[in-house]
Structure 1
């Protein structure tokens, strides 16, 4: 996605709501304002923290220059080329993401034969899993509604079960737990998932680029 395609910047409020909801669904600390965007202290072995902003902001260059260790991520709603221009040479891009939204109905396809769907909501977090006949997890995903957004997260279909419509079933099952009709449906897709979500009526609002030190 080039600079022209990313000319319309994502609304900061939408990004902030998604980031907070994402933190809730993953059991992380809520984001705090930092360097013109937000910081999430993840505290994970391969991700100490992430800095996220809705557009290129001057403070990012100074922030990146002060960081010399791996496992700290800078994420921004812009193209990878735009992000790299703000960072020292030691920073490298990670695979591209796409910030997407959906309006309208989510159609629920039939579950293919031989699979079983389980959906449960606990403490506002909904988890959907699709099992094979022998009890193995073939696909799974999570969702949460918070601050005016309904966020889909970690929608995964195992390699042996792809191209059978399981991702569509998961999205519909999770979306059925949305309480407020006014909540905006949001997710960040990988490049692999982009075509699936586009076929389901999702629209790309912005590139979502990531860089880190390796």
Structure 2
């Protein structure tokens, strides 16, 4: 049985649902539908048929996992990898996870080093920011969607040759400037590599975000 203390800091289900829906919009995927006490997204991608996402460890994850026997179906959960593994049959394995993060307050205005320019555009609810070099190649890019009371940042990427120049900070600031509602909560899932950047910008880790699949 999961202890109350282990689950006391997990994000509320409504916030996770808003993030997942906004993420699906940002990536052109079907909206999530309720399933087994969590949500299901039919991703239909190479290496990933669908994903199930849960706001914390619930017994229904065990029943779901027991019914799945093929690879390329992911179970994702707010909580530690150890918590997720306790609910899964032995054929399931952990994949690299992330961190469910939120941000409150202001973000600095976008600032770029010499030789770069910023392009931001919004189309069909998706805001895309790109940082270009002098020859027009993409040095960094990111996306954001505001949906159901959440402002969600997605796929914030800086190309390897342009890292450690503040481009990630500039992208986040430029996207945040397009937020319409002051009450919308800023949300993203960060990788281990991005965790330090977001923490330095005032983001708070709400929970580990763990992933498992049949390999």
Coarse TM-score class (shorter-chain normalised): over 0.9
1:72 and 2:73 aligned: yes
Partner of 1:36: 37
1:128–1:174 CA contact under 8 A, matched in 2? yes
1:182 and 2:183 aligned: yes
Q: Please give the alpha-carbon distance, in whole angstroms, between the structure 2 residues aligned to 1:25 and 1:110.
A: 25
Partner of 1:117: 118
Q: Please give the alpha-carbon distance, in whole angstroms, between the structure 2 residues aligned to 1:82 and 1:88.
A: 13
Q: Please give the alpha-carbon distance, in whole angstroms, between the structure 1 residues aligned to 2:34 and 2:157.
A: 30
Partner of 2:9: 8
Q: Please give the alpha-carbon distance, in whole angstroms, between the structure 1 residues aligned to 2:138 and 2:110.
A: 19
Matches within 5 A, 1:75-154: 75-154=76-155
Q: Please give the alpha-carbon distance, in whole angstroms, between the structure 1 residues aligned to 2:203 and 2:144.
A: 16
Q: Please give the alpha-carbon distance, in whole angstroms, between the structure 1 residues aligned to 2:52 and 2:69.
A: 15
TM score, norm. by length of structure 1: 0.96
1:75–1:211 CA contact under 8 A, matched in 2? yes
Q: Please give the alpha-carbon distance, in whole angstroms, between the structure 2 residues aligned to 1:175 and 1:84.
A: 36
RMSD: 1.2
2:110–2:171 CA contact under 8 A, matched in 1? no
CA deviations over 1:177-201 (Å, ceiling 9, x no partner): 0000000000000000000000000
Q: Which runs of 5+ in 1 are unaligned?
A: none
Partner of 2:204: 203
Question: How many residues matched?
Answer: 212
1:6–1:206 CA contact under 8 A, matched in 2? no
TM score, norm. by length of structure 2: 0.96
Q: Which runs of 5+ in 2 are unaligned?
A: none
Partner of 1:56: 57
Q: Please give the alpha-carbon distance, in whole angstroms, between the structure 1 residues aligned to 2:156 and 2:72.
A: 23
